[in-house]
Amino acid sequence: MRFHLFGSIEVRVGDRPLPVGGPRQRAVLGALLLTPGVVVPTEQLVHRVWDNPPGSAESNVRTYIARLRKVLGERLSTDEHGYRLTVGPGELDAAVFTELADRAERATDSAERARLYAEALAHARDEPLLGVELEAALRSAALRLRERRRAAVFGELDARLAAGEHHEITGRLRALLTGDPADERATELLMLALFRAGRQIEALDAYTAFRARAHPAPGLSALHKRILNQDRTLSLTPGRASVEAHGRLPADLPEFTGRTRLIARARELTGAAPGNAPLILVFSGTAGAGKTALAVHIGHLLAADGAGADGHLHADLNGFTADAAPADPHTVLGALLAVLGVPAARVPGEPASRAALYREHTAGKRLLLLLDDASGAAQVAPLVPAGSGTIVLVTGRRNLLLDGAADLTVEPFTDAEANALLATAVGGERLRAEDAAARRITRHCGGLPLALALAARRLRARPERSLAGLAGGLEHGALDDELSAVFDLSYRALDPGPRRLYRLLGPPACEDVTAETAAAICGRTPAEADGDLEALLDDHLLTQTRPGRYRMHRLLRAHADALCAREDPPATARSAVGRLHTWYLRHALATGDPAWFAAEYANLRALTRAAGPNGHHTFALALPHALLPWLRDHRPADTASLLALARRAALALGDHDGLARSLVELAREHARTGRADIAAGLLDEAAALRHERGDTAGAAEALAAKEELGRDSAAVGGDAR
């Protein structure tokens, strides 16, 4: 005899169904099967079957029991306390299903896990408790069985995907989505299966179809981004990457230096933490900013102060790790529970149950937890313990926007901090003795701790090497490959728009950009460029110097420039710089606003200086003349040097008119600063050039300027006598 709760409630002998009555009588049978072998009192049985029992409920139950006993015989017994239905081992489909699903969740081999889930699902071919009116306890039981069955369906599909059966499961996943097009888990697995099968376009189409019906969660959006970027780490099993949790913090760096402000802020937040929730400190910053080293150091300081009295935990979330997918929170929870002493057999496979067990085991405990290299808030949120005295330290390259967290941005080192780190390698005395070379090293590294640490490591490896030798090596790209490998992980995680802008920000010699100048660079609208800039800011690939202005670290800009040269057609960078030149020249000629010139002057000067060496001679000639009125009033010391660049550009272009104009204006600058002899020579050169071109009026104008210069010089000399 076999009893069935999945599908219709029924009893079979062999392949023959027994007559167990209509819907309400089947509901009574189902209520007894919820606790087989256990006496169920009449009153309790009534409340398992009806939400609002009728007055005749107990009488009706006795009638249904009598009818069922005629079919089931001695299996259904009655005593003074109630009714018992005896079911042997392996006779109830729900019990067999549950046992096999439990075994599948504990299996470590993907193929074995898939086999056990498939065997479990063979006993649960349909939704539970069909054909009866679900009320009271039956409704709750049906919901539990339905959720467990769904978990098993996706457990099997996930295991088959992990075992490399991506081709085989796409049909089943499409069938699931036909039934529920807004099923996010089915969409996620279908996208992965299609991508691994080499069908990237179909994988992206699956995301588009889902987004037309529902708002994607951060995890699905992140998967879409990685498929767009053809992320090779997706060839690994999602959520099955090797995840280790530890019952201790990583070792502190013995030579840790700097960060006094952030350390003080972390201690201040710890001291002022409310007592009703965990304290979460998020350390975010660009790649190589030293986030992990800082979080570990602060963790040890807080531990010394008594934090984490009930335990220290650490897990690497693989958010930006080469050849490893970001760790699935479900997997991390299992690893953390193991560290907390929960036996593997007691760790549920179902996500909600596992999360509940984690909260239960961390409630009331004062833990210190380090979650390193987070990919996003959705990855971190399930891992926050329940204990109100707990401190959670999180590191990540992105702004995580985690509810209730305190955000601590980890910026590049100050000059003093950079020098202190270098001093750990060579000593303060040698650093002072080779001060100029030390400044070259710190300037090249731009305060980025990773670059400085790599430089310091080279000095330790070769103590005889001079700082000047190291500085020269850095300036010729000695660290490029090591830094590029780190920066690439952030770049590959970007959406296509921000990725393209990131590359195109490399070639122009700008100090900073705005939405308008970024739009010119990438050939998009300011609104589109602003969105891309914010995305780069969120991933700490840009910093915001003041509202609306963004700056890229010099090492990141070198990385972006190299990417542009490698990934874009040769003309791309030149076109981007050309669009930016056009934008600046047009605005410089059109505006008379001194504030605009002041805000943009660093960029205008840098672009002019870089234009000639890179062959943009037209811009190098035109811009200094467009800036002249403002320059003479506000930056007189720079006027002559910029006009000299214009003169050089005119020579490169063979633009005789532009050359003559530059000579005349340059002569005026030299005359203004008392160098009349240089000014006279420049005016002679301008007059000769005009005369040679047949421009007698222009030649006369240059000579007249020279005569005026002579009179002014004589007058100054007479006044001096």
Q: Which residues touch 537 (CB under 8 Å, ≥6 apart)?
A: 399, 543, 544, 550
Range of the domain at 249: 245-409
Residue 401 lies in a domain: yes
Model confidence at 33: pLDDT above 90: no
Last residue of a domain, one of 182, 210, 235: 235
Q: Are 371 and 446 contained in the same domain?
A: no
Q: Are 135 and 173 contained in the same domain?
A: no
Q: What is the CATH number of the domain that holds 98?
A: 1.10.10.10
Q: Are 405 and 420 contained in the same domain?
A: no
Q: What percent of the chain has pLDDT over 70?
A: 95
Is residue 241 very low, low, confident or very high in pLDDT (cuts 50, 70, 90)?
A: very low
Residue 635 lies in a domain: no
Residue 566 lies in a domain: no
Last residue of a domain, one of 466, 484, 502: 484
- The predicted-structure confidence for 549-586, as pLDDT tens digits, reads as follows 999 998 899 999 999 999 999 899 999 999 999 999 99
Q: Which residues touch 563 (CB under 8 Å, ≥6 apart)?
A: 491, 502, 503, 506
Q: Are 225 and 251 contained in the same domain?
A: no
| Domain count of the fold of the chain | 4
Residue 660 lies in a domain: no
Residue 378 lies in a domain: yes
Model confidence at 646: pLDDT above 90: yes
CA 117-121-124 angle, to 5 degrees, is: 150
Mean pLDDT of 343-372: 89
Q: Are 152 and 17 contained in the same domain?
A: yes
**For residue 612, what are the CA distances in angstroms to 39, 233, 237, 354, 509?**
94, 43, 52, 64, 12
Q: What is the pLDDT of residue 464?
A: 78
Mean pLDDT of 654-676: 87
Mean pLDDT of 249-274: 86
Q: What is the pLDDT of residue 234?
A: 78
Q: What percent of the chain has pLDDT over 90?
A: 36
Query: Could you give the 3-state DSSP secondary structure of residue 144?
Result: helix
Q: Are 44 and 129 contained in the same domain?
A: yes
Q: Are 292 and 183 contained in the same domain?
A: no
Query: Strands of 312-316's sheet, edge to edge?
Result: 245-246, 312-316, 368-374, 391-396, 279-284, 405-409
pTM of the model: 0.59
CA 281 – CA 271 distance, rounded (Å): 13
Token pair, residue 39, equals 């006496």
- The predicted-structure confidence for 112-132, as pLDDT tens digits, reads as follows 889 999 999 999 888 888 877
Q: Are 352 and 222 contained in the same domain?
A: no
Q: What is the pLDDT of residue 136?
A: 63
Residue 302 lies in a domain: yes
Query: What is the per-residue DSSP string for 340-381?
Result: TT--GGGS-SSHHHHHHHHHHHHTT---EEEEEEE--HHHHG
Q: Which of 186-190, 602-606, 685-689, 711-715 has the lowest mean pLDDT?
A: 711-715
Q: Are 393 and 426 contained in the same domain?
A: no
- The predicted-structure confidence for 457-516, as pLDDT tens digits, reads as follows 777 767 777 889 888 888 887 777 778 877 888 888 888 999 999 999 999 999 999 999
Last residue of a domain, one of 450, 484, 518: 484
Q: What is the pLDDT of residue 710?
A: 62
CA 713 – CA 95 distance, rounded (Å): 108
Residue 611 lies in a domain: no
Q: Which of 97-101, 194-198, 258-262 has the lowest mean pLDDT?
A: 194-198
CB-based contact 186:173 (threshold 8 Å): yes
Is residue 720 very low, low, confident or very high in pLDDT (cuts 50, 70, 90)?
A: very low
Question: In one letter, which amino acid is 555?
Answer: L
- The predicted-structure confidence for 291-346, as pLDDT tens digits, reads as follows 988 999 999 999 999 898 989 999 988 888 655 678 888 889 988 998 888 888 88
Residue reference for tokens 């505006």: 591
Q: What is the pLDDT of residue 571?
A: 92
Q: Are 250 and 222 contained in the same domain?
A: no
Q: Are 384 and 442 contained in the same domain?
A: no
CB count within 10 Å of CB 228 equals 16
Q: What is the pLDDT of residue 712?
A: 55
Q: What is the CATH number of the domain that holds 352?
A: 3.40.50.300
CA 714 – CA 699 distance, rounded (Å): 23
Model confidence at 721: pLDDT above 70: no
**How would you class 447 by CB atoms within 10 Å of its CB: exposed for 0-12, middle for 13-18, buried for 19 or more?**
buried
Q: What is the pLDDT of residue 276?
A: 75
Query: Could you give the 3-state DSSP secondary structure of residue 272?
Result: coil
Residue 137 lies in a domain: yes
Q: What is the pLDDT of residue 237?
A: 41
> What are the b/e assignments for 376-404, b being 16+ CB within 10 Å?
bbbbbbbbbbbbbbbbbbbbbbbbbebee
Q: Are 249 and 276 contained in the same domain?
A: yes
CA 657 – CA 262 distance, rounded (Å): 58
